[in-house]
Chain A
Amino acid sequence: MIKLENLHKIYQLDKNTSLHALKGVSLNIKKGEIFGVIGLSGAGKSTLIRLINMLETPSSGKVIIDGEDITSYSEANLRKVRQSIGMIFQQFNLLSSATVFDNVAFPLKIAGFKKDEIKKRVLELLSLVGLDDKANVYPAQLSGGQKQRVGIARALATNPKILLCDEATSALDPKTTSSILKLLCSLRDRLGLTIVIITHQLEVIKECCDRVAVIDGGVISEMGDTIEVFASPQKDLTKHLVATVVRRDLDDLLSYTKLYSEYKENSRAWFLLTFLGDRANDPVIVDVAIKTNAKISIMAGQINHIQNQPLGFLVIAVDGSKDAIDTALKELTDRVYKVELLGYEVE
């Protein structure tokens, strides 16, 4: 649906300084997918999303929407393409001088719809986002969440195939964020939209993205199914980001206990187990304890749900001889998604 090929964006700030915002980004976003792009501020994510509808022109590379390379389109043709790509913003960007009705009607007027068609469509859209009774109200009288709902209705007015969300929930409180994300998910299911979300909040990714790309310093540093990225982040930045949402307390816990990398007599081995999907429900610890006769203590645990899939973390300490520990490790490896040896605690 959306294909980005080796995109570069260089901003010429003045004669001698330039900013290389994107350094060769390639993405392939599938139809009907909710794709998240996460990064710290200045990582290039705002630029990236603006390249998809060509609000920014790439310095090199290609933007292919629905099989058509739009990189070389004229400004007039781009305007046509943009009518099939909705966009919502962090600051909502509603017209303060127009009522909710007129805000939603705006893209329809641009697209040249007739007056009675516009009226029908606007009322339909307002009921879609749950704002039937707000048609004649000005945006200033709405809450942040309601403003973003108007933004969504406006973005969907011309029946776009793609919805771009530029930090759409960053100005909202957690509860409103969650309701907006639920709305986006249901819209995807009902309308078959392809949604691209850029955000610095991992909660947003956790709640509704099928796949996620981590952007760092203008390049995609990591990409994959959301649950995979959460379960086993590879790069430091990703680990750091993931730690803000899942296994938050783990570092804290480990800072109280001195762990050594070498086994000594009478040491306890500490493991971090990651459970994923259906296997998270299996009685792994008891099974392994019975089978290997190892003494297992549970030190910490946490379970999260990412897109309705359980993702669990468990820190355990295993008592016993080196052999017993090795056997336990092997048994655990067979049963859970991932086992990491954190170290040995010396008595």
Chain B
Amino acid sequence: MIEFLTELGFSSYAAKITVLLFNGTVDTAYMVLLATLVSIVLGVPLGVVLLVTSKGYFYYSKHFYTALGTVVNALRSVPFIILMVAIIPITKFFVGTSIGTTAAVVPLTVSTIPFLARLVETSLKTVPYGLIEAAQSMGASPFRIIVRVLIPEAMPELIANFTLTVIVIIGCSAMAGTIGGGGLGDIAIRYGYMRFQLPVMVMTVLILIVMVQLTQLLGDFLAKRVDHR
């Protein structure tokens, strides 16, 4: 790779940095995608549980909802950087190490799940109650109402919130990089900050900006596609 770039006329320093940034981008993308996937798989059901146990829904339970809500809020209150260090034993249990991109996915997911769950809960609450009632009047079970009515009807909001989640994860993944998580954040700290290589710092920031912009564009596009209101 480096040879290829120097043949193209890159100086050996520029070639090295380009490869570094490329690998960092791939690492960040990997962390973000994996963390997003796990967060959605676990966060959406948690959001649904919050919804159905809240007041006015199928399995309303004041105590359960309050207890779960408190846990969710508590997790959301812990700053990511602290959470990341605090759950190192858990990370080690799941991944075997606390260093590297895969290890970084664990704290990313743990911090994102409660965040996403709340967003899912509020998204699903935007579906008019009349639709639930109509489905009930046809004899639909709560499960079917959630899967066939609430989620499809809230899809534009859900996609907008998934987009927001991805962007938050991109930000957190950069933070994860600073303490051994790899990716663009790691490069920005090691080269940009510790070795005073300002251009590297600027490049990592630019790449992150582009990632966020692309995510937002894709999210807006998809949200519009599924919106038939």
**Interface with A: B2-10, B129-137, B176-184, which one?**
B129-137
Interface 1/0s, chain A 69-80, versus B by CB < 8 A?
000000000111
Contact across chains for A98 and B131 when beta carbons are under 8 A apart? no
Interface 1/0s, chain B 134-164, versus A by CB < 8 A?
1111111100100011001101000000000
Mark A residues whose CB is within 8 Å of B: 53, 55, 78-83, 85-87, 89, 91, 93-98, 106-107, 109-111, 138-140, 154, 158, 164
Cα A96 to Cα B131 in complex, Å, equals 10
Contact across chains for B148 and A106 when beta carbons are under 8 A apart? yes
Contact across chains for A53 and B155 when beta carbons are under 8 A apart? no
Contact across chains for B139 and A79 when beta carbons are under 8 A apart? yes
Contact across chains for A97 and B134 when beta carbons are under 8 A apart? no
Contact across chains for B139 and A55 when beta carbons are under 8 A apart? no
Known: A91-B128, A97-B228. A82 touches B137 (CB 8 A): yes
CB of B210 closer than 8 Å to a CB of A: no
If over half of A's interface residues share one DSSP class (helix, strand or loop), that class is named, otherwise mixed; here it is: mixed
Contact across chains for A82 and B139 when beta carbons are under 8 A apart? yes
Instruction: Closest A residue to B130 by CB, please name it.
Output: A93
Cα A276 to Cα B208 in complex, Å, equals 81
Cα A260 to Cα B45 in complex, Å, equals 75
Cα A164 to Cα B128 in complex, Å, equals 20
Instruction: Closest A residue to B145 by CB, please name it.
Output: A110
Cα A80 to Cα B138 in complex, Å, equals 9
Residues on A with C-beta less than 8 A from B133 are 55, 89, 93
Cα A96 to Cα B229 in complex, Å, equals 6
CB of B226 closer than 8 Å to a CB of A: yes
Residues on B with C-beta less than 8 A from A83 are 138-139
- A-B pairs with the 8 shortest C-beta distances? A93-B134, A79-B139, A87-B137, A107-B138, A82-B139, A138-B228, A93-B130, A83-B139
18 chain-A/chain-B pairs, Cβ below 8 angstroms: A78-B139, A79-B141, A85-B137, A87-B138, A89-B130, A89-B133, A93-B133, A95-B153, A97-B153, A98-B152, A106-B135, A106-B138, A106-B148, A107-B138, A110-B138, A110-B139, A138-B228, A139-B228
Most-contacted residue by chain B among A83, A87, A93, A97 (CB, 10 A)? A97
Residues on B with C-beta less than 8 A from A94 are 134
4 further interface pairs, Cβ-Cβ under 8 Å (given A93-B131, A95-B152, A154-B138)? A86-B137, A87-B138, A96-B228, A138-B228
Residues on B with C-beta less than 8 A from A91 are 128, 130
Contact across chains for B141 and A140 when beta carbons are under 8 A apart? no
Known: A95-B149, A106-B148. A89 touches B134 (CB 8 A): yes
Cα A97 to Cα B154 in complex, Å, equals 9
Residues on B with C-beta less than 8 A from A138 are 228
Contact across chains for B134 and A82 when beta carbons are under 8 A apart? no
Most-contacted residue by chain A among B135, B137, B139, B141 (CB, 10 A)? B137
Residues on A with C-beta less than 8 A from B148 are 106, 109
Cα A315 to Cα B121 in complex, Å, equals 63
Contact across chains for A53 and B137 when beta carbons are under 8 A apart? yes
Contact across chains for B137 and A55 when beta carbons are under 8 A apart? yes
Contact across chains for A82 and B228 when beta carbons are under 8 A apart? no
Residues on A with C-beta less than 8 A from B144 are 110
Instruction: Closest B residue to A50 by CB, please name it.
Output: B133
Instruction: Closest A residue to B138 by CB, please name it.
Output: A107
Q: Which of the residues B137, B140, B141, B152 comes within 8 Å of A97, measured between beta carbons?
A: B152
Instruction: Closest A residue to B129 by CB, please name it.
Output: A93
Known: A107-B139, A110-B139, A110-B144. A95 touches B131 (CB 8 A): yes
Q: Which of the residues B128, B136, B226, B228 comes within 8 Å of A55, measured between beta carbons?
A: B136
Shortest distance from the beta carbon of A103 to any chain B beta carbon, whole Å: 10
Within 8 A of A (CB), among B97-138: 128, 130-131, 133-138
Shortest distance from the beta carbon of A264 to any chain B beta carbon, whole Å: 61
Residues on A with C-beta less than 8 A from B130 are 89, 91, 93
Known: A93-B130, A95-B131. A82 touches B138 (CB 8 A): yes
Residues on B with C-beta less than 8 A from A87 are 134, 137-138
Residues on B with C-beta less than 8 A from A93 are 128, 130-131, 133-134
Within 8 A of A (CB), among B201-229: 226, 228-229
Residues on B with C-beta less than 8 A from A55 are 133, 136-137
Cα A106 to Cα B137 in complex, Å, equals 12
Residues on B with C-beta less than 8 A from A89 are 130, 133-134
Within 8 A of A (CB), among B17-68: none
Instruction: Closest A residue to B153 by CB, please name it.
Output: A97
Shortest distance from the beta carbon of A267 to any chain B beta carbon, whole Å: 59
Most-contacted residue by chain A among B131, B134, B149 (CB, 10 A)? B134
Instruction: Closest B residue to A84 by CB, please name it.
Output: B139
Residues on A with C-beta less than 8 A from B137 are 53, 55, 82, 85-87, 164
